[in-house]
Structures are given as C-alpha cells and as structure tokens.
A and B are shown apart, each in its own frame.
Chain A
C-alpha cells in the first residue's frame, strides 16, 4: 500500500464530514433538551446541563490525551515505545477521582428526584387511562370525563395532503388545566402498557394495567403543550398524542362548566330513539375514531390480525351478540371492551353502522334503550 493513498483517504473523508456538519447546522430547531415550563422540567434541564458539561470536561481530558498521543507517539515520527505498564498510584487516583465526581452528581440528582416524586398537596387530580390507541381523562372532583384521540386527518398521514404544523401532535379533546396549580395525574391503562409524556412538563410515567402511577406538574404560563405516548403499545403507538392546554383559572372554570353541559346532553341522547339515518351517520363517526384503526375504514380488517367486519360472522349474526362483543370485548385479543368507553347512543350507533355498512345490510336498528338494557 502506498503512502499516497494513506494521506488521501482521510482528506477526502474529512471533507465529507464537514459537509454533513454543515447540514446539521442548517437544521431549524435546537439541538438540546427542551427547558420546559414546569418546576421539575427546569430542574431536569439544569441537571442535564450539569452532567453534559461534566461529560464534556472529562471528554476533553481523555480525548485530548488520546489524540495528543495519536499525533505524537507514532512510529512514523520516530517515536520509540516506552515499556512502562503499571502504576498503582495512578490506578488508585483514577478510581477515586471519578468516584468523587459521581458523588458530586448524585447529590443534586437525589434532591431533584425527591422533589419530582412528591405528589402530595395537589390542587387537582386527573385520572389518565391509556387505551390502544387513545387517552381517557377523568377529573376526579369536577366530574369531567372524556376521551382524547388523534385528530390528524388520514390524508396527511398517507401523504395525500400537506402536513399541518401540529401533524401527529393534535387531538380532538385536549386536557385542560388551570395555570399556577399543582396538578396530580393518576395514571393507569386498560389494555397494554403506555406511557404519558409531554416533554415540556418534564416527566413521563408508564400507564400500566392494574397499577396506578402518579406524577405531578405545575404550569405557570398559559399555552398548549404537546407530547406522545412513549411506550410501545402496538400498531398505532405513534398515533396517540397528548395535548395539554393551560388556561387562566376563570377560563378553566368556564371550560369545566361547558364539559358538564355536554355530558348532560349526551346522557339525554340515551333516553330517546333515533332513526336509521341518524344512527348510520353517528355510527360512521364513532367507527372512524374507535374501530377503523384495526378493522379498517372499509371493514375488511387485516387478515390474521384483525377480523373483517364486512360479511363477518358477528356483524351479520344476532344483534344482541354483536352488541355484547362490542361492549365486553374479547379476552386475549386486541378487541377492547367499549362499554366503559362509549355512551349508549354511540354504542347503538356503531353497532347499527357495522350491521348495515359495506353491504352487510342487515336492516336492523339497535337503539340506545337496548344498550341501556344490556349494561
């Protein structure tokens, strides 16, 4: 091998490396952790910066020595190898010094951790339940209870429309909280493990079926904060975002009142009968946001994973069994129990829709009263 190639290879490649660095510098957003808007997020951020700088300092010393050696102690420069190969004093020093540095890191880390895990004295408690693939929020004292699902249109996901700035980080019903209050979340899950995470709030916690985990945050600046499920939870793991809107107390109170009014209206729906057309229209909406992820918009499902509803055994069988399956789910499969997730009118509508859409044409109608009786 010639000395000429020896020189040329690194030079060509250094050029390429510089090009890619230029690409990184051109990227639009920051390279660092987000400072966040809550006390704990800011604490995490300053700890992150501390450890980062400690690592950079150690890196400069270690890599500095390494590259000095690489540049100077090379045979081509006539270096003759020394033969030393141990020094107990040095070994002890570089065991003890890192240990002391670690203690220096552990102290602030311990303080921060204790503060983060202290969920006592909260002003407001929201129970968060993860589902495949949506979140449920129950305000325990206010009586507000709703589901929150992705609102990004399918056209954007499948590249048939331009993506909006909040692509995949937008929901139909955001969590609304008052500013300046300590909000405690009680987090659990209904099917598989999820994780609730909004980066700006500084904490993530797993949502685990059968467990209730707790975390807290306090937001001082009104605004909209976006995050995502952070624990792999199946097919649509990437499609169950979280949006938190922090509002001034007065606006928050209005929002709570509106939510309660809407809940009353929905309850009233359960006590009346619908026409076939009303049920089909409402059912299609319910189907799109709750069922289409697995059974597909065309009702054909995914062979081997999610059964087809078009011409399916259940959807063309007796209505009572169909309703029971939707309400109670099927153990050991991804089919969830929707009795706790949908109200009577929505359940009636979706079952009616499934029985009459895609050429199933059973012609029968399930009314909210039937759902109420089945509960």
Chain B
C-alpha cells in the first residue's frame, strides 16, 4: 500500500506493538487495559485473602505473624476496592459509554490514557511497601489514627499511592461526566440513556465529590506524622474521631461508588434475557439518584460505637434505614422485569440473578446493621465482614462478571464457552456462600474482625469458611481461563449476540471497529 493511499484511509487501526497500549487514546484500548489490570489485581488481592483464610483455618498461629496478618487484611481491602472493583467499573465505562451513546470516543482521550497509566505505578508503590522496614500498612484500610501513625517506612508511600489512585479516579470520573453530557448522539435524551450510563453518571459525581475528601484526610495524616500538626492527636488538642468522620464522609459514598454501576449492569442484563423492557426505568433513575443523595447523610453509621450524642445516633440510624426504600424499589423493579418474561439462563443472566438474590441478602444484613442499639453487638464483628462481602463479592464482583460475560462476545467477536461459564457460576455461587454465610454466625457468636487467632468456640465455622474460600479462589482461575481463551478465539459472535439485547452497542459489528460511530447515529 502506498503512503498516499494509507494517508487517504482515515479509519486507521491501532498502532502495533507495546506502544499501542502505552500511547493509546482509544476508549476501547483503555477499557481493555483497565479490565485486564483489574483482573490482575483481583488475583493479587485474592491471594492475600487466601493467606488470611489459611491463617484462620485453625485456632493458634500457624503461617504468619499477627503483624503480617494485619498487613494482609489492610492490603486485601485496598487492592480489592481501589485496584479490582473500581478499575473494572472504569474499564466497563470506557468500553461501553461511548458505544451506548453513539459517541466516537470518550470526551477527553489523552486524560483517559493518563488516568489509566497512573494506576500501575500507584499499585506498584503500594505493593512495594510489603518489603519495607516495618512492613506494609497494618492499621486497616480505614487508616484510623493514632494506630496508622505507628506504620513504619511504608507510611508516606501508602499515602502517596492513595493520592495517585484518587487522582486517577477523579480524572476518570470527569471524563465520564463530560462524555455523557456532551457526546450523546442526536435524539439520545438523558431519559433515553441506558441505565448503565445513568448509574455511571451519578457514580462519577459521587467520585468527584468524595475523592478529594479522602485525599484531604490522608494528607492530614501525613502532616500529623511528619510536620508536627495535631489534627488527630488528642495530646496536641486534636481529635482522633474527626478522622473517622472525614474518612466515612468519603467512605460511605465510596460504598455506593462500588455498587451503583453494578445496579446499572444488572439493569442492562435482566431485560435482555427476560426479553422484556426494564420495569420502571424512570423510578430506577430516581432511586439511583436518591441512594446517591442519601449516601452523604449516613456516614456515622460506621461509627455507632465511638460515643456520639444520642441525637446523632438517632439521626444516622433513621437516615440509614431510609436507604432501604430506594434500594428496595430497585430489587422490586428487577423482579417485576423478570415477571411474565420469557427467560433464558445464559451465564450473564445467572450472574445477574445471583447478584439480585445475594445482594438482597447483603441488603438485609445492612438493614440489621442500621439499627444502632443492635449494631452495638454487630459492630466490628464477622457479621459486618459477612455483610460487606455479600454486597461487594456477590454484589459488585458478580455484576462485573455478569457484565464481562455479557459484553465479552461484543468486545472480542468470539463467544465464550457457555458450559464453562455455567460451571464458573455454579461453583462460585456455592463456594461463596460456604465462604461467607458462616461468617454471619461467627459474628453473632462474638468473633471480632481483624484477629489472626480466635477462641476455640469459633473453630468449626472458620474451617468451613476457609474451605469455601480456597475453593472460591480456585474457581476464579476458571474465569481467567475463560476470558483468555475467548480473547484468543472461539465461535464467532453475531452482531446482535443475544436475542433480546437492545441498545446501540448491539448495532455495531462484533468486535466493533477500532473507531466506531464516527458519524453519530440518530435516535428516534
């Protein structure tokens, strides 16, 4: 091909080799990078969970010392939250928002590249703290002072890596907002957008609102440690509880950052496989917005035992209970979407149904935890651990997996192996319940969280939980295998992929061209 001819072809494909990935500004490439990075971090964080469950398999100290155990719980949380779940959602946003809206790319492609490429450096730095004097961070992912100030050389590196993750998230969020508000195809009004786009728009605003709060809080820790301030030191006139207020003002909206896009994914998948439009589209949008609004008013339910005034405890209890209303609306809408549908149960649908069922169980335990007088018993026990793993593993991660199976044929042009996908779902679902359901019992019986060793009355359920954990961990290797083999080949997918799928992304070829919707489609 002559130079002139190549120049005339404006629809150029990707650059070749490694530079394609380093310099890419293409939303599909960046989406892929985010998703693969997230998968890698899922296994790194998962390996740490295996260390935790191995140590807790039997009472007594067997494999690791208590300090390293605390490092594992801290790092597992930081990596799973900031390295696995959040990048997976940003990856999905990158891949899907432009092709769902009929846009050619994200609005700010160079910033998009930057916001991804910060992450590998942030996590390399975070993981490198494991090898520093004094070990990695061991004060819990919540970084409560004064304990966190006892961290060794790792401390400033942990803070800086959190700053970098925050920077990346904020840039990703800005990109999402700008893309959604400016780059919709003609006729795509806000209330015609797919629900995944809606939930991401709201999530992006949450991110922009709270990531700077986290950055501020950890910077105050940094100055307390190195520059003689006393924000959180009672001896210097500061207030250790203030950190918790600031942290959870970030932390509770963060919880919804981790679940709202999951709601969006499930709201795309259930109508497809029920072959029936989503029930109550506008109430879904309003419910999502209500949950996001309420998320700013409930932070202190993480702190019922710090000794708040009665009026404060009552306010946060009532506000927290209120969240059950919009969340309930969403669950009812999903069930109504299935009702009188014509359902089939391919792997994405199985994971979406697993999500609805088990996320609701996590919702119930959440409602129980909201009741302050009983939370005094549940707080900081394995009941809480069970609760947030139900909403994060069988909630957020199940939705991500559902989304991966749902869109993988579109992304790669190849169908995944349905039999293996079903095995992955059923094995995961059984083992995740063997892993986390007994933890409810442990918490109710009185086992505190974050302990490396426990009294012998807790032995049986810890054994069961650990066995479930190892099996769940192994099962996820199957997921990695399915994803990789689908990328490499397989039965060709049609453009429509799923019989009942609706939306602009299914009008594109599978896989879509490197540059799609260079001319905007018109939505009627």
Residues of A within 8 A of B (CB): 1, 5-6, 9-10, 13, 16-17, 20, 23-24, 26-34, 40-41, 43-44, 47-48, 51-52, 55, 58-59, 62-63, 65-66, 69-70, 73-76, 79-87, 90-91, 94-95, 98-99, 102, 105-106, 109-110, 112-114, 116-117, 156-159, 163, 165-169, 191-193, 195, 197, 199, 202-206, 208-211, 213-214, 226-239, 302-305, 332-334
Contacts and interface: CB of A to CB of B under 8 A. Distances in A.
B513 interface: no
Nearest to B447: A228
Interface string B421-462: 011001100100110011001001110111111111100110
Nearest to B368: A51
Contact of B343 (A17, A69, A302): A69
Nearest to B379: A204
B445 A168 contact: no
Given A204-B305, A237-B450, A305 B67 contact: yes
A81 B277 CA distance: 9
A33 B444 contact: yes
B381 A1 contact: no
A210 B240 contact: yes
A69 B240 CA distance: 51
Contacts of A82: 276, 340-341
Contacts of A214: 307
Given A6-B422, A73-B343, A202-B377, 5 more contacts: A9-B423, A86-B281, A117-B313, A166-B455, A210-B234
Interface in B397-428: 418-419, 422-423, 426-427
6 contacts: A30-B445, A81-B340, A83-B276, A85-B277, A95-B329, A230-B448
A182 to B, nearest CB: 17
B109 interface: no
A76 B344 contact: yes
A124 B9 CA distance: 87
The 10 closest A-B pairs by CB, nearest first: A210-B234, A304-B133, A238-B451, A213-B307, A27-B460, A199-B446, A112-B373, A55-B364, A82-B340, A85-B277
Given A157-B60, A227-B446, A75 B275 contact: yes
B373 A116 contact: yes
Q: How large is the interface on B (under 10, 10 to 19, 20 to 34, 35 or more residues)?
A: 35 or more
Contacts of A32: 444
B310 interface: yes
Contact of A62 (B62, B139, B331): B331
A185 B324 CA distance: 34
A20 B468 contact: yes
Contact of B241 (A99, A197, A211, A229): A211
A204 B377 contact: yes
Interface string B274-295: 1111111111000000000000
B4 interface: no
Interface of B: 59-62, 65-67, 70, 132-135, 138-140, 144, 146-147, 149-150, 152-153, 225, 234-235, 239-241, 274-283, 305-307, 310, 313-314, 317-318, 321-322, 324-325, 328-329, 331-332, 335-345, 353, 356-357, 360-361, 364, 367-368, 371-374, 376-377, 379-381, 418-419, 422-423, 426-427, 430, 433-434, 437-438, 441, 444-446, 448-457, 460-461, 464, 468
B340 A203 contact: no
A44 B341 contact: no
Contacts of A333: 150
B455 A168 contact: yes
B171 to A, nearest CB: 32
A59 B113 CA distance: 44
Given A195-B305, A227-B446, A47 B280 contact: no
A332 B454 contact: no
B339 A208 contact: no
Contacts of A305: 67, 133-135, 152
A94 B239 CA distance: 43
Contacts of A1: 418-419
A113 B310 contact: yes
A55 B356 CA distance: 15
Contacts of A52: 368
A98 B329 CA distance: 9
B313 A113 contact: yes
Contacts of B422: 5-6, 9
B204 to A, nearest CB: 26
Contacts of A117: 310, 313
A202 B318 CA distance: 21
A85 B449 CA distance: 44
Contacts of A116: 373, 376
A230 B446 CA distance: 10
A203 B377 CA distance: 6
Nearest to B417: A1
Given A63-B357, A163-B60, A237-B70, A70 B313 contact: no
Contacts of A95: 325, 329
Contact of B62 (A24, A159, A197, A205): A159
Contacts of A29: 445, 457, 460
Contacts of A69: 335, 338-341, 343
A204 B471 CA distance: 35
A228 B147 CA distance: 18
Given A13-B426, A236-B66, A334-B150, A208 B306 contact: yes
Contacts of B314: 110, 113
Nearest to B427: A13
A165 B456 contact: yes
Nearest to B240: A208
Nearest to A231: B380
Given A66-B356, A110-B314, A163-B59, A44 B377 contact: yes
* Of A76, A85, A87, most B-chain CB atoms within 10 Å: A85
Contact of A204 (B278, B380, B454): B380
Contact of A98 (B283, B328, B452): B328
B140 A167 contact: no
Contact of B373 (A44, A79, A239): A44
A20 B328 contact: no
Nearest to B224: A332
Contact of B70 (A23, A80, A94, A232): A232
Contact of A332 (B149, B234, B373): B149
Nearest to A158: B61
Contacts of A110: 314, 317
Nearest to A97: B328
B452 to A, nearest CB: 5
Contacts of B457: 28-29
Contacts of B282: 86
A159 B60 contact: yes
Nearest to B446: A199
A302 B134 CA distance: 8
A83 B150 contact: no
Given A16-B430, A113-B310, A232 B147 contact: yes
A332 B325 CA distance: 46
Contacts of A205: 305, 307, 376
* Of A10, A81, A83, most B-chain CB atoms within 10 Å: A81
A84 B149 CA distance: 57
